C-alpha cells in the first residue's frame, strides 16, 4: 500500500469539477491511500468525499515565507508519497514539485505533454478534456472524468426547505466575485418579475454566499440562510438538488448544479465559453452573448419559458 497525493486548490467550481477525476483515481488506486492537498475552505467538504482517505491543508502563504514552506515540506515528507497528481497545474504547484516534493512520479500538464506538444495547444482543450488527457497519459482509465457527479457532497436540508417553501422553487444565483464583475448579468430582478407574473405556481429563491448577504436584499426573491448565515457547501448542494430549475451567472454554484444533473441555464459573456469550462450537460444549458449588459430579461425568459411551464 502506498500514499498518493492529489493537489487541488482552485475555486468552488473547480472542486465540483474534479469529482469524476477523483473517482477514476480511486478506482485506479484501490489498495492505496489517497490524500488531497487543498485550502481550508474545502476541508469539511472534501473530508466527506468517498474517494479520499484524508485532507491536508495548504494555507497558500507567499512563497517568500520560508518558514511556512519548510513546515509544509516537513509535513508532506511524513506521508512518504509515492505519486502526485497535480490537478491545479499552476506556477505554485510547479514550484512545489521542484522544491517541496522530491517525487519523480508526478502527473501534471507539464509532465504528460506528448513529444512536440506545447502547453498553449493543450490548454485549448476544455477543462475536463485536459484532465482526461492527463489521466490517460498517466496510464489511468478516465471513465468518469468527463461526467463529474457531485452528489456525494449534498446533505439533506428538508427542515430548511419546509421553512421557506410551500411550492416548487426556482433557484437563482445572481452574484459573482467582486473581481469578476464582468461575469455578472445585471437584470435578474427584471427576470424575476416576469417569472412571477407568468408562473404563479413557482417561488423564486436565492442562497447568498458569506459576502453576498447584504447584496441579497436588493434581489426580489426569498433569501435562504441558516440562522442568518450562508449555507455551507454541503447544504447549498442539498438545496440545489431540490430546486426545480437553476438560473445562474458563471459561478461555483452553477458548476455544482451542472454536476448534480440539474436542469438550468447559465449566462456567459465574453470572458470565456461554456465549452472551455466544461459546464454544459444534457440538462444544464448555456446562453452565451458578447455583452451581458445587452442581454435582456425577456430574451432569457424566452430561453427558459418551456422548462418553467413544465414545473407543476
pLDDT tens for 55-65 read 999 999 999 99
Cell 447584504 sits on residue = 214
Mean pLDDT of 168-192: 90
3-state secondary structure of 290: coil
Cell numbers describing residue 134: 492527463
Encode pLDDT of 117-155 as tens digits: 777 777 788 999 999 999 999 999 999 999 999 999 999
- Counting residues of the chain whose pLDDT is more than 70, the rounded percentage is 100
Task: List the end-to-end C-alpha distance of the chain, in Å, as a whole number.
Answer: 52
Looking only at the bridges linking them, the beta strands covering 202-206 and 222-223 are parallel
CA distance 10 to 53: 20
Cell numbers describing residue 224: 435562504
Domain with CATH 3.40.50.2000 in the chain: 3-149, 158-309
Mean pLDDT of 263-276: 91
Encode pLDDT of 197-219 as tens digits: 999 999 999 999 998 988 999 99
Encode pLDDT of 24-71 as tens digits: 999 999 999 999 999 999 999 999 999 999 999 999 999 999 999 999
Cell numbers describing residue 157: 436540508
Cell 442562497 sits on residue = 207
- Which homologous superfamily is 158-309 in? Glycogen Phosphorylase B; (3.40.50.2000)
- Which homologous superfamily is 3-149 in? Glycogen Phosphorylase B; (3.40.50.2000)
- Counting residues of the chain whose pLDDT is more than 90, the rounded percentage is 81
Backbone φ and ψ for 223, nearest 5 degrees, come out as: -95, 120
User: 121, exposed or middle or buried, with CB in 10 Å at 0-12, 13-18, 19+?
Assistant: exposed
Mean pLDDT of 229-249: 96
CA distance 32 to 80: 12
- Among left, alpha and beta (phi > 0; psi -120 to 50; other), residue 301 is alpha
**Which pLDDT band, with edges at 50, 70 and 90, does 253 fall under?**
very high
pLDDT of residue 41: 95
Cell 418551456 sits on residue = 306
Q: In what order do the strands lie in the sheet with 222-223?
A: 222-223, 202-206, 168-173, 245-249, 264-268, 284-288
Amino acid at each position: 500500500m502506498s500514499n498518493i497525493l492529489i493537489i487541488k486548490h482552485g475555486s468552488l467550481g473547480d472542486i465540483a469539477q474534479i469529482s469524476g477525476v477523483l473517482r477514476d483515481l480511486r478506482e485506479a488506486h484501490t489498495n492505496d491511500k489517497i490524500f488531497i492537498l487543498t485550502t481550508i475552505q474545502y476541508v469539511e467538504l472534501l473530508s466527506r468525499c468517498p474517494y479520499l482517505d484524508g485532507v491536508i491543508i495548504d494555507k497558500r502563504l507567499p512563497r517568500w515565507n520560508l518558514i511556512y514552506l519548510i513546515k509544509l515540506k516537513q509535513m508532506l515528507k511524513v506521508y512518504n508519497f509515492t505519486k502526485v497528481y497535480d490537478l491545479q497545474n499552476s506556477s505554485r504547484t510547479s514550484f512545489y514539485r521542484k522544491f517541496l516534493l522530491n517525487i519523480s512520479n508526478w502527473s501534471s500538464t507539464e509532465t504528460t505533454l506528448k513529444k512536440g506538444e506545447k502547453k498553449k495547444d493543450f490548454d485549448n482543450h476544455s477543462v475536463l478534456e485536459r484532465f482526461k488527457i492527463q489521466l490517460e497519459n498517466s496510464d489511468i482509465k478516465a471513465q468518469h472524468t468527463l461526467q463529474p457527479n457531485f452528489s456525494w457532497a449534498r446533505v439533506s436540508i428538508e427542515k430548511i426547505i419546509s421553512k421557506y417553501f410551500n411550492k416548487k422553487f426556482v433557484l437563482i444565483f445572481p452574484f459573482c466575485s467582486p473581481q469578476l464583475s464582468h461575469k455578472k448579468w445585471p437584470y435578474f430582478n427584471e427576470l424575476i418579475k416576469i417569472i412571477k407574473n407568468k408562473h404563479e405556481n413557482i417561488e423564486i429563491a436565492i442562497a447568498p454566499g458569506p459576502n453576498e448577504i447584504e447584496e441579497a436584499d436588493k434581489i426580489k426573491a426569498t433569501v435562504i440562510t441558516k440562522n442568518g448565515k450562508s449555507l455551507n457547501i454541503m447544504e447549498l448542494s442539498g438545496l440545489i438538488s431540490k430546486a426545480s430549475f437553476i438560473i445562474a451567472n458563471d459561478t461555483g454554484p452553477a458548476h455544482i448544479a451542472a454536476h448534480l444533473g440539474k436542469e438550468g441555464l447559465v449566462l456567459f459573456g465574453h470572458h470565456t465559453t461554456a465549452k472551455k469550462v466544461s459546464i454544459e450537460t444534457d440538462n444544464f444549458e448555456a446562453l452565451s452573448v458578447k455583452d451581458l449588459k445587452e442581454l435582456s430579461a425577456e430574451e432569457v425568459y424566452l430561453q427558459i419559458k418551456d422548462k418553467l411551464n413544465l414545473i407543476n
